[in-house]
Chains A and B, each alone.
Chain A
Amino acid sequence: MEAVSYTAQWTAAARAVETERESGALFEDPFARALAAPRGFELLEEYGGGGLLPFIAIRTRFYDDAARAVLAETGIRQVVSVATGMDTRAFRLDWPEGTVLYEVDHGGLIQEKRARLARLGASARAERREVSADLATDWLPALAHAGHDPNLPTLWLAEGLFFFLTEEQAGGLLNTLAAASAPGSRLVTDMVSRQLLRSPFNQSFLAALKKDGTPWRFGTDEPEEFLAANRWKTYEVREPGEPGAGEGRWPYEVQPRARRGVSRSWLIGAEVTGA
């Protein structure tokens, strides 16, 4: 598998750890342990600390809740998981009748995930369509070929993706998604603060990611402005530990926005705006 798939493995490992909590798990992903092989737990150990485990758990639950809320509140029935990795929402969540879920990622990952889920006897709870595509290229045609209709509103899920991009690529991706978004389309995503990438305390974690071929590059201290500049108006920006984002499960104080020097993660909901 390609290097970025290691990220999918350790993310799955973190989801397995959360699922196997004795009590109070934020979600249950019964497939995560099998999807974390072969290196997920080893990488999680290497990268662990710095709130990574509770963050993945809180982030996963945030997306679960956000996806359910969007489909309940809107007529949106096409969902696109961009750089889906080892996400199993198609198999875990209840989806409204008529929902079509597109999972976009590298062909190698898509094939491996399909094989593992088949061995586990997993069955999707919505119509699920795999889209093998390289996100560094023009991938919208592949999505359209799989049946995505840009004239109907879309819910885009882009989980754990933006920090791997450059700022230019991040803005480009937001515009690409907007270009394929009918009015009313929504985006659920996450980003990190610029300070998280600069903090001396994060350098060993960031160096390990870089060594493994998956460096983190992009962060913003003003997610609302960054999204607005690239055609998305935020309706929800939360930090881990806040109500609706793992309150009570985050082992750190949530720092006021005005405080400088804070490593932050943003959990974001946004709606597309005109060009």
Chain B
Amino acid sequence: MISTRIDEVRAWILSRHPERESVASDENLIESRLVDSLSFVELVYTIEAAADVEIDFDAIDIQDFQTISAIEKAFFARA
């Protein structure tokens, strides 16, 4: 399987949760507490680096961060 840049986001999530082997694209990252308010900033920087985008903290829509699919759609769609 060819690694894509969204996989960098998935890898970051898994690196924070060594008890997990995988995270599904449609799994809710917030409800499952895979991402919380304090790790969120690290998630944003991971997305910025992987997608080569700049994310405005003052205009964040939480819907864009609910799942890996949502992150991909919001920040990687132009790839």
**Cβ of A202 < 8 Å from any Cβ of B?**
yes
Known interface pairs A200-B62, A201-B62; A263-B33 also in contact (CB < 8 Å): no
Partner of B42, one of A50, A196, A253: A253
Asked if B41 and A255 sit within 8 Å, CB to CB, the answer is yes
**Cβ of B30 < 8 Å from any Cβ of A?**
yes
CA–CA, A137 to B35, complex, Å? 40
Using CB atoms and an 8 Å cutoff, list the residues of chain B in contact with chain A. 30, 33, 35-42, 44, 57-58, 60-62, 65
Residues of A within 8 A of B40 (CB): 199, 201, 263
**Cβ of A213 < 8 Å from any Cβ of B?**
no
Partner of A252, one of B30, B38, B57: B38
CA–CA, A65 to B47, complex, Å? 38
Residues of B within 8 A of A263 (CB): 37-38, 40-41
CA–CA, A255 to B42, complex, Å? 9
**Cβ of A261 < 8 Å from any Cβ of B?**
yes
- In the A-B complex, the 3 residue pairs with the closest CB atoms: A261-B57, A200-B62, A201-B37
CA–CA, A260 to B33, complex, Å? 22
Q: Quick one: which of B30, B35, B41, B62 has the most chain A CB within 10 A?
A: B41
Q: How far is the CB of B27 from chain A (nearest CB, A)?
A: 16
Chain B residue nearest in CB terms to A199: B37
Q: Quick one: which of B33, B36, B37, B60 has the most chain A CB within 10 A?
A: B37
As a 0/1 sequence over residues 223 to 259 of chain A, the CB contacts with chain B under 8 angstroms (1 = contact) are 0000000000000000000000000000011010001
Asked if B44 and A196 sit within 8 Å, CB to CB, the answer is no
Residues of B within 8 A of A196 (CB): 37
Asked if A51 and B36 sit within 8 Å, CB to CB, the answer is yes
Q: How far is the CB of B75 from chain A (nearest CB, A)?
A: 15
Asked if A262 and B41 sit within 8 Å, CB to CB, the answer is yes
CB pairs A–B below 8 angstroms (8 shown): A199-B37, A200-B60, A200-B62, A200-B65, A203-B62, A259-B41, A261-B58, A261-B60
Q: How far is the CB of A72 from chain B (nearest CB, A)?
A: 33
Residues of A within 8 A of B60 (CB): 200, 261
Asked if A261 and B44 sit within 8 Å, CB to CB, the answer is yes
Residues of A within 8 A of B37 (CB): 50-51, 196, 199, 201-202, 205, 263
As a 0/1 sequence over residues 184 to 213 of chain A, the CB contacts with chain B under 8 angstroms (1 = contact) are 000000000001100111111100000000
CA–CA, A234 to B28, complex, Å? 41
Residues of B within 8 A of A262 (CB): 41
**Cβ of A24 < 8 Å from any Cβ of B?**
no
Q: How far is the CB of B29 from chain A (nearest CB, A)?
A: 10
CA–CA, A234 to B73, complex, Å? 45
